[in-house]
Amino acid sequence: MAQGIPDEVLMDTALMEELAEAAKDAAALHGVLMRIQETPNSTELVTYAPFTLFPTPVPKAVFLQALAVQTHYNTLVDKISQDPEFLQEALASTIEVDDFTARLFKIHQQILKEGRSQSIVLGLNRSDYMLDQRDDGSSSLKQIEINTFAASFGGLSSRTPDVHRRILQMAGRLEESQRILDNNPAAGLAGAVAKAWELYGSERNITTKRKRFGDVCKTGYLDQDKRLFVDGQEVAVVYFRNGYMPQNYLSEQTWDARLLMERSLAVKCPDISTHLAGTKKVQQVLARPGVLERFFPNQPQVVEQIRATFAGLYTLDMGPDGDKTVEMALADPDRYVLKPQREGGGNNIYGSEICQVLQRVKGTAERTAYILMDKIHPAPVKNYLLRRDAPLQIRNCLSELGVFGTYVRQGEDMVMNECVGHLLRTKNSEDSDGGVAAGVAVLDNPLLS
C-alpha cells in the first residue's frame, strides 16, 4: 500500500459521510459537473462528475518524468504522422482484418494521393501512464497508451484541484491541501487551438460551433480553394470530439463528412494520419528494437527517455514472433492485456477471456487485429469514489496519470510544442478496464510525495 490518508481517518464513517457531502457541494460550486444519462442532451438536470474523496499520492520523481517526456511524445506522434511508409508498414497486417482501421487508412491514402491541402497541424494529445510497482517498493512509469483523438478531461481536471483542497482543509489536513498542484490543461489546449486558428489566417473573433457529422453532411462544402464552409461560415479549425469509434459512423454520409473535412484546408485536430499514429498497433511497433531511432536518429537521450516508459508490447502478426506471443499469453494470461484497435474504454480483454479469444483466432489472420501488452500493476491505495447513486464504500484503488501535450506545426516549422497539464483518474482495483466516460474511473488529483 502506498502512503495515503491514514486508515483511522478513512475508517471514521461519520467523518467520511460528512466530507463526501461537502465534497459534492464543492464539486457543484467549482463546476465539476456533467450531464446525466437520462437526459444526455439537456443542461436542465446535471450532476457532479465522479471523483475521489481524497487525492492520491504520486512519487514526485515519476510525475516529473511524465511531464518531461511529453514534448518528445508530441514530436514522435507528429513525425509518425508525416511518415506514410512507416504507417503503411506498421498497419499493413491490421487493416487486412480490422474494417474500421482499414476505413481510416483508406482516407489517409486518398489524402496522400490528392496531396495534403493544409500544412498547419494541430496536435492535442494525452499520454496515459500507470506506475508499475517494483519489488523494492519503488515504482516505474509505464505508458498505457497515447490518445491523439478527443483526449478528454482537460476541462474538468482544471477544476478538481480546488475541490480536493477544500476537502483536505475540512479534514484538518492543511499541509496536504497546500500541496495540491494547480492544473489548467484547458487553458493550454485552448491556446494551441487559438494558435492554429491564427496561423490559418483568420481575421475575425474566434467563434466556435458544435456540429454532428450529419450536420456537416447537410451544409458542408469545399470551395475551389478547398476552404471548408459549414452553415455558410468558413471553418479554420476542426476539432473532432467524435469519430474514434465505429459507432460514430452510422452511415456512408458520416464517412463522407469525415473525408470532406480531411480534404479541406481547415486545420484538423487530429488529421487522419495523426489519428492513425495513435493506434495501439503503432504503439506496439514503436516498441520494437530500432524503431524509435528511425524518428530520432541523432538523439539517443530522447530515444532513451521515451523508451524508458514503454511496457512490454508484443505483435500478433502471422509468423514466428506472433506465434510466440500467442504461446506466452495462453501460458499465463493474467500477466497480459489483449487490445484491439479501439478507443474509449471497455474494449480490452483480460484473464481467461484472453485464452478464449486467442484459441478462436490464433490460427488465422484475425489475430492481427490485436496486440498483447504486459499488465501493469500499480500499488493500490485506499480511497472513496464519489459517484451519483453509488454507496459510500472504501475501495482499493488504482490510478492512471495522463499528461496533456499540445503542438502546432506549420510546414517544417514546429511553432509550438508544450506540456500543458495532467489528469489523474482512479478506479476500483476490481475493475480492469475503462475510463471516466465509460463509467469506471473517477477524477482525482496527484499529491506529490
Residues that bind Mg ion (CB under 5 A): 145, 147, 343
Q: List the single partner that 375 binds among Mg ion, ligand ADP, none, CB under 5 to 8 Å by kind.
A: ligand ADP
CA distances from residue 11 to 42, 176, 357, 382, 393 in whole angstroms, order as listed: 38, 19, 42, 10, 10
Q: Quick check: is 113 catalytic?
A: no
Number of residues that bind ligand ADP (CB under 6 A): 20
Beta strands per DSSP E along 270-393: 313-314, 336-340, 349-350, 370-374, 381-386
Kindly identify the residues of this chain, within the stretch 125-144, that bind ligand ADP according to CB under 6 A. 128, 130, 144
Q: How far is the CB of 200 from ligand ADP (least distance, A)?
A: 29
Q: How far is the CB of 247 from ligand ADP (least distance, A)?
A: 13
Q: Tell me which residue of 424, 347, 418 sits closest to 385, measured CA to CA.
A: 424
Phi, psi of 52 (to 5 degrees): -80, 150
CA distances from residue 366 to 95, 197, 324 in whole angstroms, order as listed: 10, 42, 16
Residue 199 interacts with ligand ADP (CB under 6 A)? no
| Whole-number Å distance between alpha carbons of 377 and 88 | 33
Q: Among residues 161 and 378, whose Cβ is nearest to ligand ADP?
A: 378
Residue 439 interacts with ligand ADP (CB under 6 A)? no
Q: Among residues 317 and 400, whose Cβ is nearest to Mg ion?
A: 400
Q: Quick check: is 126 catalytic?
A: yes
Query: What x/- string results for residues 144 through 183 when contact with ligand ADP is judged by CB under 6 A?
Result: xx--------------------------------------
Tell me the Cα Rg of the chain: 22
Q: How far is the CB of 434 from ligand ADP (least distance, A)?
A: 6
Q: Among residues 306 and 376, whose Cβ is nearest to ligand ADP?
A: 376
**Grid coordinates standing for 56?**
492520491
Q: Which of 345, 351, 380, 439 binds ligand ADP (CB under 6 A)?
A: 345
Q: How far is the CB of 333 from Mg ion (least distance, A)?
A: 21
Q: Among residues 303 and 376, whose Cβ is nearest to ligand ADP?
A: 376
Kindly identify the residues of this chain, within the stretch 375-404, that bind ligand ADP according to CB under 6 A. 375-376, 400
Q: Which of 168, 236, 282, 337 binds ligand ADP (CB under 6 A)?
A: 337
Burial class (CB in 10 A: 0-12, 13-18, 19+), 72: buried
- Do residues 406 and 418 make contact, with C-beta atoms less than 8 angstroms apart? yes
- Do residues 405 and 419 make contact, with C-beta atoms less than 8 angstroms apart? yes
Q: List the single partner that 423 binds among ligand ADP, Mg ion, none, CB under 5 to 8 Å by kind.
A: none
Residue 343 interacts with ligand ADP (CB under 6 A)? yes
Catalytic residue among 31, 155, 191, 344: 344
Q: List the single partner that 235 binds among Mg ion, ligand ADP, none, CB under 5 to 8 Å by kind.
A: none
Per residue in 112-145, is it b (16+ CB within 10 Å) or e — as a string? eeeeebbebbbbbbbbbbbbbbeeeeebbbbbbb
Catalytic residue among 339, 342, 362, 395: 339
Q: List the single partner that 433 binds among ligand ADP, Mg ion, none, CB under 5 to 8 Å by kind.
A: ligand ADP
**Grid coordinates standing for 52?**
475521489
Q: How far is the CB of 187 from ligand ADP (least distance, A)?
A: 24
Kindly identify the residues of this chain, within the stretch 359-378, that bind ligand ADP according to CB under 6 A. 373-376
Q: Quick check: is 241 catalytic?
A: no
Per CB under 6 A, which region of 31-39, 52-60, 258-266, 335-343 contacts ligand ADP? 335-343
Grouping H, G, I as helix, E, B as strand and the rest as coil, residue 434 is coil
Catalytic residue among 159, 258, 280, 409: 280
H or E stretch including 417?
Answer: strand 413-428
Q: List the single partner that 311 binds among Mg ion, ligand ADP, none, CB under 5 to 8 Å by kind.
A: ligand ADP
**SS3 sequence of 31-49:** CCEEECCCCCCCCCCEEEC
Listing DSSP states for 220-288 in one string gives -EE-TT--EEETTEE-SEEE-SS-SSGGG--SHHHHHHHHHHHHSSSEEET-HHHHHHTSHHHHHHHTS
Peptide bond into 6 cis (omega under 30): no
C-beta neighbour count of 101 within 10 angstroms: 23
What is the β-pairing status of strands 336-340 and 228-230?
Answer: unpaired
Q: 40: which residues sit within 8 A by CB, 6+ positions away?
A: none
Catalytic residue among 126, 342, 362, 382: 126
Q: Among residues 98 and 145, whose Cβ is nearest to Mg ion?
A: 145
Residue 433 interacts with ligand ADP (CB under 6 A)? yes
Q: Quick check: is 344 catalytic?
A: yes
| Whole-number Å distance between alpha carbons of 156 and 176 | 21
Q: Quick check: is 177 catalytic?
A: no
Q: List the single partner that 84 binds among Mg ion, ligand ADP, none, CB under 5 to 8 Å by kind.
A: none
Q: Quick check: is 89 catalytic?
A: no
Residue 191 interacts with ligand ADP (CB under 6 A)? no
| Residues in touch with ligand ADP (CB under 6 A) | 128, 130, 144-145, 311, 337, 339, 343-345, 347-348, 373-376, 400, 433-435
Catalytic annotation, residues: 126, 145, 147, 152, 280, 339, 343-344, 425
